[in-house]
Amino acid sequence: MIATKAKRSEKTLTCKQRFLGAIENSPIDRPPVWLMRQAGRYLPAYQEVKKNFTFLEMCRRADAAAEVSIQPFDILGVDAIIVFNDILIPLEHMGQKVDFTEKGPVVAPAARNAEILAGIHRGRFDETPAVFDSIAEIRRRIGGDVPILGFAGCPFTLSAYMVEGVVSKSLRYIKELLYANPRLLEKTLDLLTETVIDYLRIQIKAGADAVQIFDTWAGELSRSDYRRFALPYQRRIIEAIQSEGTPVILYVKGSSHVIDEMKASGASVLSVDWRINLRDISNRLGEGTVLQGNLDPTVLYAPPETVRRMTQKILDDAGRRTGHIFNLGHGVLPETPVESVQALIETVKHYDYSSR
Amino acid sequence: MIATKAKRSEKTLTCKQRFLGAIENSPIDRPPVWLMRQAGRYLPAYQEVKKNFTFLEMCRRADAAAEVSIQPFDILGVDAIIVFNDILIPLEHMGQKVDFTEKGPVVAPAARNAEILAGIHRGRFDETPAVFDSIAEIRRRIGGDVPILGFAGCPFTLSAYMVEGVVSKSLRYIKELLYANPRLLEKTLDLLTETVIDYLRIQIKAGADAVQIFDTWAGELSRSDYRRFALPYQRRIIEAIQSEGTPVILYVKGSSHVIDEMKASGASVLSVDWRINLRDISNRLGEGTVLQGNLDPTVLYAPPETVRRMTQKILDDAGRRTGHIFNLGHGVLPETPVESVQALIETVKHYDYSSR
| 3-state SS class at A289 | coil
Q: What's the CA gap between A82 and A66, in Å, rounded? A: 10
pLDDT of residue B296: 97
Task: For residue A36, give the nearest of A136, A153, A117, A121 by alpha carbon.
Answer: A153
pLDDT of residue B241: 98
Residues of A in contact with B176 (CB under 8 A): 298, 301-302
pLDDT of residue B168: 87
* Prior bond of B294 cis (ω within 30°): yes
Q: Is B179 on the interface with A (CB under 8 A)?
A: yes
**Residue A240 amino acid letter:** A
Q: Is A312 on the interface with B (CB under 8 A)?
A: no
Residues of A in contact with B185 (CB under 8 A): none
Asked if B301 and B266 count as a contact pair (C-beta separation under 8 A), the reply is no
State which residue of chain A sits closest to B257, comparing Cα positions: A256
Q: Is A301 on the interface with B (CB under 8 A)?
A: yes
Q: Is B275 on the interface with A (CB under 8 A)?
A: yes
Q: What's the CA gap between A5 and A354, in Å, rounded? A: 8
| 3-state SS class at A327 | strand
B172, B275, B302 member nearest A298 (Cβ) = B172
For chain B, give the mean pLDDT. 95
pLDDT of residue A128: 84
pLDDT of residue B206: 97
CB contact under 8 A, B302 and A224: no
**List of residues 6+ apart from B210 with CB closer than 8 A:** B19, B20, B23, B80, B147, B149, B150, B246, B247, B248, B249, B268
| 3-state SS class at A150 | strand
What is the nearest CA distance from A285 to chain B, expressed in angstroms?
15
CB contact under 8 A, B275 and A223: yes
Which parts of chain A register pLDDT below 70?
1-11
How much is the ipTM here?
Answer: 0.92
DSSP state of A74: I
- Name which of A253, A256, A308 to mutate to probe chain B: the one with the most chain B Cβ atoms within 10 A of its Cβ: A256
- Name which of A112, A185, A259, A301 to mutate to probe chain B: the one with the most chain B Cβ atoms within 10 A of its Cβ: A301
Task: For residue A168, give the nearest of A159, A177, A176, A160 by alpha carbon.
Answer: A160
Buried b (16+ CB within 10 A) or exposed e, B205-221: ebbbbbbbbbbbbbbbb
Confidence of residue B143 (pLDDT cuts 50, 70, 90): very high
pLDDT of residue A11: 61
CB contact under 8 A, B170 and A256: no
Asked if B150 and B218 count as a contact pair (C-beta separation under 8 A), the reply is no
Residues of A in contact with B221 (CB under 8 A): 275
Asked if A202 and A246 count as a contact pair (C-beta separation under 8 A), the reply is no
Q: Is A125 on the interface with B (CB under 8 A)?
A: no
What is the nearest CA distance from B305 to chain A, expressed in angstroms?
10
What is the nearest CA distance from B9 to chain A, expressed in angstroms?
35
CB contact under 8 A, B179 and A297: no
Angle CA B163–B166–B170, to nearest 5: 80
What is the nearest CA distance from B237 to chain A, expressed in angstroms?
24
What is the nearest CA distance from A76 to chain B, expressed in angstroms?
22
What is the nearest CA distance from A293 to chain B, expressed in angstroms?
13
What is the nearest CA distance from A276 to chain B, expressed in angstroms?
7
Q: What average pLDDT does this structure show over B118-142?
A: 94
Is the overall model pTM greater than 0.90, yes or no?
A: yes
**Residue A37 amino acid letter:** R
CB contact under 8 A, A310 and B179: yes
- Name which of A257, A284, A317, A335 to mutate to probe chain B: the one with the most chain B Cβ atoms within 10 A of its Cβ: A257
Render A12-59 in DSSP notation, one character per residue.
Answer: T--HHHHHHHHHTT---SS--B--TT-SSTTSHHHHHHHTTS-HHHHH
Q: What's the CA gap between B230 and B330, in Å, rounded? A: 19
Asked if B57 and B125 count as a contact pair (C-beta separation under 8 A), the reply is no
pLDDT of residue B11: 62
| 3-state SS class at A75 | helix
Q: Is B223 on the interface with A (CB under 8 A)?
A: yes
Residues of B in contact with A310 (CB under 8 A): 179
Q: What's the CA gap between A84 and A56, in Å, rounded? A: 10
Asked if A83 and A134 count as a contact pair (C-beta separation under 8 A), the reply is yes
pLDDT in tens, B202-243: 999 999 999 999 999 999 999 999 999 999 999 999 999 999
Asked if A328 and A348 count as a contact pair (C-beta separation under 8 A), the reply is no
Q: Write out chain B in H/E/C secondary structure.
A: CHHHHHHHHHCCCCHHHHHHHHHCCCCCCCCCECCCCCCCCCCHHHHHHHCCCCHHHHHHCHHHHHHHHHHHHHHHCCCCEECCCCCCHHHHCCCCEEEEECCEEEEECCCCCHHHHHCCCCCCCCCCCHHHHHHHHHHHHHCCCCCEEEEEECHHHHHHHHHHCCCCCCCHHHHHHHHHCHHHHHHHHHHHHHHHHHHHHHHHHHCCCEEEEECHHHHHCCHHHHHHHCHHHHHHHHHHHHCCCCCEEEECCCCHHHHHHHHHCCCCEEECCCCCCHHHHHHHHCCCCEEEEEECHHHHHCCHHHHHHHHHHHHHHHCCCCCEEEEECCCCCCCCCHHHHHHHHHHHHHCCHHHC
CB contact under 8 A, A176 and B298: yes
- Name which of A166, A174, A280, A298 to mutate to probe chain B: the one with the most chain B Cβ atoms within 10 A of its Cβ: A298
Size of interface A-B (CB pairs under 8 A): 85
B170, B276, B302 member nearest A257 (Cβ) = B276
Given phi > 0 = left and psi -120 to 50 = alpha, else beta, which region is A143? Answer: left
